[in-house]
Chains A and B, each alone.
Chain A
Amino acid sequence: MITTPHVDWFALSPTLALLAVAASALLAAVLVPGPLRKPVSATVTFAGFVGSFAAAAVLYAHSADAHGALTGSLMRDRWGALAQLILAGAGALAVLVSYGERTKEHVSEYYALLAAAGAGMIFLAQASSLLTIFLGVEWFSIALYILCAIDIDRASRLEAGLKYLITGSFGSAFLLFGSALVYGATGTLRLDLIGRAVADRGLSDDPLLVVGLAMMLVGLAFKMSVAPFHQWTPDVYQGAPTPISGFMGAATKAVAFVLTIRILQTAFAQDAHLWTVLLAVLAVASLVIGNLAALVQTDVKRILAYSSVSHAGFMLMAVAADSALGGRAVLYYLIPYSAMSIGAFAVVAARERELGHDVSADDLAGYGWERPVLGVALWIFMLGFAGFPLTGGFIGKFYAFSAAYRHGWLWLVIIGAAATAVSLWYYLGIVRQLFLRSSAGAAGSTGTPSAPPRDALLQIAVVACVAITVASFFAVQPLIDLAKHAAGSLPF
């Protein structure tokens, strides 16, 4: 007779809500008649993300003391719950942005995959064993591989999907190989037991363990799109459906960072002297490569992709600081960053739908005056990305810099400040297009005569993103309190 472990269904509820929704959306593809398919599956998916958000909120409230669920392969703690809140919120916004996409085929499948990817990420936020980690990573990645290639009208979709598939699998392979080595060194899959084994048996310099850690970090770096493991990012962000690019920019990054910190703090705290330096180097690489490469891009989605690489660098600064302050910094950073990412891609999506082709920076000339709501929103997102005051992006950077300084790395702060200066060039470049140039003067940007009607849902999502971006600047204390309690559940 097989004894089944005790299952904490409540801890799983955010994941299960989305899984149920993914299944229903798939069923809708078969059972619901054509014209209703899109509204039904979108509504169901939106409800799923909202339900998952609510479940995660309740879970946060009731998980003050962190403990394992499912025999320790998942952790029920506030760290995971807060990440789930961010992920579910990003998913809900992504549904709103997606609704106006003009794809006619595979609509239900699109939403089913979005829900499945969300479920995988939300599962991964709690994962605390090498097995569940790999499961979660593959789960959301496979859903995203398909989503990247789902838009038949897009010429670059196959390139995007294939590239993501290949590099993503490459990253997963690293993660898996590294996990195997770590398991070989410690004899356990659970992160907390790995940490204990390393401490008890003095394994911190064990070659097997160190190589395993390095390979796992490489695998995670792919998901975080940290330079030099970022090469897929611009192509995939450019080729994927724009709402999906925004969702990936926000959610993939969020879950990858949350997971990385959990792994490093729980299992590899003894090796901090190794990985802090490594991550600092990667942070510098991301800041340099992301910002310099963004300078020469013309496609707005590629600019945003490289900007996401540079933001990975800023967040890595906080991770590398190896402190509770750093953990707080990352969690706080992710909130406005996710909103800005989804919002910025949403505005690009709106412009793309008007033009019917990819949006280059020149296509935004005068857009701010034409569509003040979207234009002002994109302007605010750019200021936020650049870390300008009056947006949460500023406080996020301030926290990340403070964490790095507290760790004693003033040089990292200075590099961060220099990177910010460089980044202003391309962020303000977009603002210049929006407001300082007139649409008449720009070549090839005569909006299509049959401009589509205003997309109310997209505008709601954009306004919500603006609200989060600006409100997170003023209401820092409540968010930091959330992040503080969340970081309290990890052994910093």
Chain B
Amino acid sequence: MALWLILLPLGAALAVWLLPLDRLAATGLALAAVLGEIGLWITTLVRFDLDSGKLQFEEQASWFKDLGVTFHLGLWGYSLWLIGMTVLVLGAAIAFGARAGRERPRAYFGLMLFLLAAVVAVFEAQDLLLFYVAWEAMLIPLYFLVGVWGGAGRVAATYKFVVYTIAGSLLMLTSIIVYGLQQGTFDMTLTTGSGSMWLFLGFAAAFAIKAPLFPFHGWLPQAYRESPPEVAAVLSGVVSKTAAYGFLRLGVIEFGGPSLRIRDTVLALAAVGLVYGSIVAFRQPDLRGIIAYSSLAQMSLITMGIFSINLAGFDGAILQMVNHGLISGVMFLLAGLVERRAGTSDVARLGGLARGRPILATALLAAGMIALAVPGSATFGGEFLILTGVFASGWAWTVVGAAAIVLAAMYALRLISAVLHDRKGEAVTDSARDLRLPELAFVLPLLGCLIALSIWPNAVASHSFGKAFERCTPLANVLKLTAEDCP
């Protein structure tokens, strides 16, 4: 099962690249693959034992023995939720691309499907080297998706993004080699954790850049502005989550000691990022900029949850990762739809879109309300859990986090009112139509999932880590938990 979740999009990508399909057939194949992948994920979810907290659907094959490297895949509860979010957001992005009629459709859809396979592989990899492979494999399609289909400044944006990420990746590779050879295995289920701060920092560098965490976010505004909207949705919704996942799986769990020692520093950086991102988002002149910097703020909040190093924080972080993935996805896609209608994402030239366009207004309002963590929304639940978790490290962190919720309300409301209400902007003409049915087809599922999560946030929050998780990971030793019945 775990393997098929990778092979299906990968096979579809190869088919799109190699078969001489026309635009219609390539689009159809890509969409069919996405639907199949969603179906596959639902099947996996149904058959998954969410309460056990154990690694499930394991698949292992030998790769090279002398250094202890294997193709080892498997699903944790939290990986399953993140994969679900990935499949949905990437599926919506592919649908957006189909709607937008991207040039060179075969290359485009192949790259999107390849990206899907790579991200799923990141969440499933249970071998350090395989994780690195999937991690780097994500970069290949992103390089082209931003560099070929992006806006005017795309090449510079691509270079900045790639240089930043690869600098981090190579530090991580060095750490992986040292850590794996020290452990005598690269299998992440067999490693016993390490107390080395340097190794931890090597991993953390890669994750801090990709998330991004303040002050490593230099690539972010350009990359999110110059990408095609659906790729920006994937970058901020999905790709950034791989970094947060890495922080959790390889940072905190494997390096519990160093994480505890560096906790206050990371929390401080995250707090700065949270406030800074929110304030800058409020001051941005364009839709993309607002969403980009809000993304920085949200990733900082998620990092806070992870580095609270307790289960409440982890639960909140996972819930918030799923939430933010969906929100950021739907926001960038809506921004893309607005751009397609108005030809600009400059908020000064937008406004008054709500009149006569009720569906667009409803969708944007709903997304915005969830984004600002209105009580009762899924994000409210996530943020509450994160703040609860981080309270154990000091009440001041919670105060900063709560203040940031107010700031989030400021930028989200400004975005909503600037686009939908206000006086009619010069770029808004009467020919700008309401959302069409095909567009609803990819906006609604994301919104629907968000609303479902708002109703039942515990679906994710209580089913990500079971009891076995606490007892049976290297982190358990650091947290001085008793090991009585590890599987």
- Residues on A close to B: CB < 8 A? 325, 328, 369, 383, 388-390, 394-395, 398-399, 401-402, 405-406, 410, 413-414, 417-418, 420-421, 424-425, 428, 431-432, 435-436, 476-477, 480, 484
Contacts and interface: CB of A to CB of B under 8 A. Distances in A.
27 contacts: A325-B66, A328-B66, A383-B140, A389-B134, A389-B136, A390-B137, A394-B133, A398-B173, A398-B177, A399-B67, A401-B173, A402-B67, A402-B181, A405-B181, A406-B181, A410-B178, A417-B173, A424-B163, A425-B163, A428-B143, A432-B159, A435-B147, A436-B147, A436-B154, A476-B63, A476-B64, A476-B69
Nearest first, the 8 closest Cβ-Cβ pairs linking A and B are: A389-B133, A476-B64, A417-B170, A436-B147, A389-B136, A417-B174, A477-B64, A421-B170
A413 B66 CA distance: 19
Interface of B: 62-67, 69, 104, 129, 132-134, 136-137, 140, 143-144, 147-148, 154-155, 158-159, 162-163, 166-167, 170-171, 173-174, 177-178, 181
A477 B65 contact: yes
A394 B130 CA distance: 12
A425 B166 CA distance: 11
Contacts of B136: 388-389, 394
A436 B104 CA distance: 13
Contacts of B144: 435-436
Provide the main secondary structure of the chain A interface.
helix
A436 B132 contact: no
A477 B64 CA distance: 5
A383, A398, A413, A418 pick with most chain B CB within 10 angstroms: A398
B124 to A, nearest CB: 15
B148 A435 contact: yes
Contacts of A389: 132-134, 136-137
A369 B104 contact: yes
Given A389-B136, A418-B170, A477-B63, 15 more contacts: A383-B140, A390-B137, A402-B67, A413-B174, A417-B171, A417-B173, A424-B166, A425-B163, A428-B143, A431-B143, A432-B155, A436-B144, A436-B154, A436-B155, A477-B62
A484 B158 CA distance: 41
Contacts of A417: 170-171, 173-174
A398 B140 contact: no
A480 B174 contact: no
A428 B144 CA distance: 11
Nearest to A483: B66
B65 A402 contact: no
Nearest to A332: B64
Contacts of A480: 64, 66
Contacts of A477: 62-65
Contacts of B133: 389-390, 394
A421 B163 CA distance: 8
A410 B182 CA distance: 12
A430 to B, nearest CB: 13
Contacts of A436: 144, 147-148, 154-155, 158
B129 A398 contact: yes
A428 B162 contact: yes
Contacts of A410: 178
A395 B136 CA distance: 13
B177 A405 contact: yes
Of A389, A425, A431, the most chain B CB neighbours within 10 A belong to A389
A466 to B, nearest CB: 13
B116 to A, nearest CB: 15
A436 B144 CA distance: 8
A240 B62 CA distance: 43
A199 B195 CA distance: 43
A212 B117 CA distance: 55
B177 A401 contact: yes
Contacts of B148: 435-436
A402 B167 CA distance: 19
A111 to B, nearest CB: 34
B8 to A, nearest CB: 18
Contacts of B174: 401, 413-414, 417
A408 to B, nearest CB: 11
Nearest to B176: A398
A432 to B, nearest CB: 7
A480 to B, nearest CB: 5
A192 to B, nearest CB: 27
A431 B162 CA distance: 13
Contacts of A428: 143, 159, 162
A455 B167 CA distance: 39
A476 to B, nearest CB: 4
A397 B65 CA distance: 17
A306 B167 CA distance: 22
Contacts of A402: 67, 177, 181
